[in-house]
A and B are shown apart, each in its own frame.
Chain A
Amino acid sequence: MNIQFLNQNEKNKITEKLKEQFGIEKIPFNLIKIGQERIMAISEKIKKEEIEKIQNIAFIEGIGVYFAKEIENEIRLSIEGTHLLKEQISKNIFELNEKQAEQWMQGNELNLSTGKKGFIIIKFNDDFLGTGKASENKIGNFIPKNRRLKAREFNYQYLQ
């Protein structure tokens, strides 16, 4: 696994983009990059030297949590990325209704006009449901297959 530990400067650049996109001020954990795009979040105790030490011992199959992807100078947060920073997300949030949330979690793109362009945070009630890409009349969906709801499983039968 090709692991690149992001230094403070590189982390600051990502924070700046996240501030611009979603109003996020601070990333309270370390970041590493795997390959060209994937950014992983790791606890602050895991230092560069520690990773290198383990790499000398065994091939690292995985590290931390997949946090975001850097795509064409923009950041697309993963579901966990939105969970980790949910307290700070204040911009470009699009709230879905129950029916839309069900479709979203089934992995469908939504034929909706949000009035925004680019990456937006998808939310339903208190749940952050990852990031979508808004264009004129639709929101592109990035929910991975193993996180999708099967049809008929969105069971919001709340007590009345």
Chain B
Amino acid sequence: MKDKVAVIGVGCTKFGERYDRGYEELICDAAFAAYDDAGIDPEEIEAGYLGTYLPGAGGGKSATSLADALRLYGRPITRVENYCATGTDAFRNACLAVAAGAYDIVLVVGAEKLKDRGGRGIPRLGHPLLARGNTAPGLFALAANRYMHTFGLGRETFAAVAVKNHANGAKNEKAHLRNEITVEQVLKAPIIAWPFGLLDCCPTTDGAAAAIVCRAELATRFRKPPVLVKGAALAVETGKPYFDPTFDYLGFRSTQKAAAAAYKMAGLTPRDIDFAEVHDCFTWTEISNTEDLGFCKKGEGGKLAEEGRTALGGDIPINPSGGLKSFGHPIGASGVRMIYEVVTQLRGEAGARQVKSPALGLAHNVGGPGAVSCVVVLGNA
């Protein structure tokens, strides 16, 4: 698939508590921006992929919300749902369809309106007895506690990630949380699920993002310089890691495997990547991801953050957008939002949060936790 698919347009709504916008309106905002970005007539779109964890009211468990929002009828539209890797997996499927020669131009939208689903955003869908009592922070905290126990680090190391991502997000007008914070604030925030305090956690966010991909040969027809898909891979591991006696809880095998496959497809190594948007649903997650993606050795992700190497001016900037932590995390939208950010950075259009002249960027989602991971590598043509 390497270099066979190009991203020709991206769009993203303002992320946040979007009480002012319905689910389908958010889809419109993101898709219209992508249409304009590419300079494309929607009639040219041959197929669509909707990444969403919970569709809007009336949307059902299907892709009809995308069709209805954009009146994009009579075409194949597929709904993708794969935990927090939903958005990047929707993008990956669109790329596969184009690379396979099935369509020339495909629209990908990730959308989520968590605030319409009650205060906690995510209704419980699990087994009525087994694993009951789990929460998203609680599940990642299981890994964080084992990691802290093994590598002997403290909450202040995790806090460095939150401080950095809020600093980046403060520069980003589309971000949900735009306030800069201090290590002390992170440490003093109320505990949600030990060791995570409120400021170790990403917010519950509404938002949508869109990307339009096409066959690479056609890309020059459109408005902006194309960005090429170098590699995209998904890996699935157990969705019940807490029952797996062989799991060490120090990182996620799905990320390691998806990254290896994406690098192999791209013919690249982690050293070649100039910056990355990685899944920082909780502060520890980013630290572990930087290791699983190969930017440092296992156990050294905390040092990477504390030494400023993942900051905007560091040698491997991580989450220049502000990440899930500050930009927000509308589940199905996040992965497509990452594609939007990587494309924006590669084009040099990121303004105050611009990474210095990047050529290769990476987007990564992990959900489950650790059950599903998707890695996408994009590069300038």
Is B truly associated with A? no
